Amino acid sequence: MNGTHQMGGMRVLIVEDEPACRDALKTMLMMRGASVATASDAEQALRSFSPSDFDAILADIRLPGMNGLSLLRDIRSRYPDFPVILMTGYSSVSSAVDALKLGADDYLVKPIHDHDKLLDTLWSSIERHRLILRNKSLQEQLRSSEEKYRALFENAGDMIIVVLLNPDGGPAAILEANRSACSAIGLDRDRLRDRPFADLLPPLRRKDTEAFLRASASGAESYETFFVSASGDLFPVELRVERLILEGKPMAIVVARDISERIRMEQDLAEANERDRQHLGREIHDALCQDLTSVTILAASLQKRLASEKSQSLADAAMIHQISKRAVAFCKHLCAGLFPAEMESEGLVAALESLARETSHMFGVSCEASIDRDAVPRTRASSLHAYRIVQEAVGNAIKHGGATRIEIRLARRSDGLSVLTVRDNGRGFGAVPQDGKHLGLKIMSYRARVMGGSLTVENGEGGGASISCIWP
C-alpha cells in the first residue's frame, strides 16, 4: 500500500464527537474524492446508516452514550461483513484486541497524522467488502444455476446416467442417475450409484455398448441397445453420449430414451408390410402362376401336335414351352420370397431348407442349410425375422458378392445363445459399398435388434463374407 488510492465514488460515514477531528477527516477524504457523511454519536449514526448508502464506517471508540464498540457490535449483528474501522486517542492493547475480536476491519490511533495509512486502510477494507459481495453474488448465481440444472436433470423425461469411464478399459461405474432412470430401471439412486454400468445391459450387449461409450463422437450418433430392469425385464433404449473430463477423470453423460413405443410401431409397420408381401405372394401364386402353368401345359401339348404334323412352327412352339417353364419357375421363386409357404405350415427349419434348395436351383450355386431345431426362435415373429435376415444375406452374396457357395447354419451355443450364420465364398464386403441401404444391413440389424439380439458382419479369413445374428 502506498496511499495513492483515489477514493472517488467511495462513501464513508464518520462517527466522531470531536468537531475538529471530524471536520479534518471529512476534508481530507473529500479532497481524495470520497463522499462523506458525519455523525456526532452512535445513535445518530445508526439512524442515518444503511449499507446501500455507505461503503465504510470510520468511528471513534470513545463516544457519548453508546460507544464505538457497541456500535460495531450492532452493525456486525446485522451486516457481518460491512467495513468498520475504529479509532481511539488511547493506544491501548486491550481496546485494540476488543475491537478486533468484535470484527473491526482495522484499528487506528488518533491523532491520525499518517493520512496515507488511513486511506490504505479504508481502501483495503472497502475492496475486501466488495470482493466478499461479488463472491456471495457468484455463489448465489452458482447455487441458482445448480438448482436449475439439478431440476432439469431430475425432471428430464429421458433417463440421464453419469458414468465414470475406466481409463484402463475396465467397466464403467455409475456415479449419478436422474429420477426417470431410477423409475425405469426400478432401483433407487443409492442402489444405482457405484454399480457397474454393464449391470444395466443384457450380457449379449455389454461389450458393444461399453465400446460405444468410449469410442463414439460426443452426441454425434445414437446407439440402440437394451436395458435390464430390476425385475429382469428387457426394454429397448436409444443412447446418446457426451464425454467430458471432470477433476481429471474421464466421464460420460449417457442420455437413454425408452423406445419401446417406437419399436412397437415399427413392428406393427413391419408386420403390415409382411402381410402385404404375403398377400401379393398368394395373389401371384394363385393367379399368375396358375395361368403361366396353363400356358406351359398348352405349349407342351401344341409342341406334340405340331411334331406329329411335322409343322414348321414346331420350333416356335418349343421356344414358347421353354419360356413359359422358366416364367413358372421364376414366378414360384418370387412367391417363395414374398410368401414362404413352409413358414406357415412347417416353420423356420423347413423354410430355410427350402430357401437353400430354391437358391441352388434358381441361380446354379451351391447353397446348403444346417439347422439345429433347438436353436429356432421361440416366437413366430422372431422366426420370420430370422428367415428374412437369411434371405437378404443370401441375395447379397449372389447379387453383390458373386458367390458360388453359400452355407446357412443355425446352432445353439454352449452358453444358450442361438447363432444364425450365412457364410459365402464371394468377394466380401470390401468389394461393394457398405452404406447400409445397398446391402440391406440396416434392415438386417433392425430385425436382429427386434429379436433381442445383435448382427455382426465380417470378411472371411480365406475370402468371402460372413453375416451372423445372435439372440438369447
Mean pLDDT score, 254-281: 75
| Element spanning 13, H or E | strand 11-15
Q: What is the mean pLDDT of residues 96-106?
A: 73
> Residue 184's pLDDT band (boundaries 50, 70, 90)?
very high
pLDDT above 80 for 287? no
Distance, in Å, from the CA atom of 363 to the CA atom of 379, rounded to the nearest integer, reads 31
pTM: 0.51
Comparing 197-211, 257-271, 405-419, the range with the smallest average pLDDT is: 257-271
Determine the pLDDT at residue 434: 44
Question: What's 425's DSSP letter?
Answer: -
Q: How far from 340 is each of 147, 180, 278, 293, 327, CA to CA, in Å?
A: 59, 43, 8, 20, 19
Whole-number pLDDT of residue 286: 62
Instruction: Output the nine-digit C-alpha cell for 233.
Output: 425385464
Tens of pLDDT, residue by residue over 404-413, are: 999 999 999 8
Mean pLDDT of 70-79: 89
E strands in 193-295: 223-228, 234-246, 249-258
Q: What is the pLDDT of residue 435?
A: 45
Per-residue pLDDT, 129:
86
| pLDDT class of 338 with cuts at 50, 70, 90 | low
End-to-end Cα, the chain, rounded Å: 77
Identify any residues that bridge with 88 across adjacent strands, giving them in sequence order: 109
DSSP string of 379-391, one letter each residue: SHHHHHHHHHHHH
Count Cβ atoms within 10 A of the Cβ of residue 433 and give its class: 0-12 exposed, 13-18 middle, 19 or more buried: exposed
Q: What's the pLDDT tens digit per position in 35-55?
A: 999 999 999 999 989 888 999
Looking at this protein, which amino acid is placed at residue 368? E
**How far apart are alpha carbons 208 and 225 in whole angstroms?**
9
Report the mean per-residue pLDDT for the chain: 82
* Structure confidence at residue 433 (pLDDT): 44
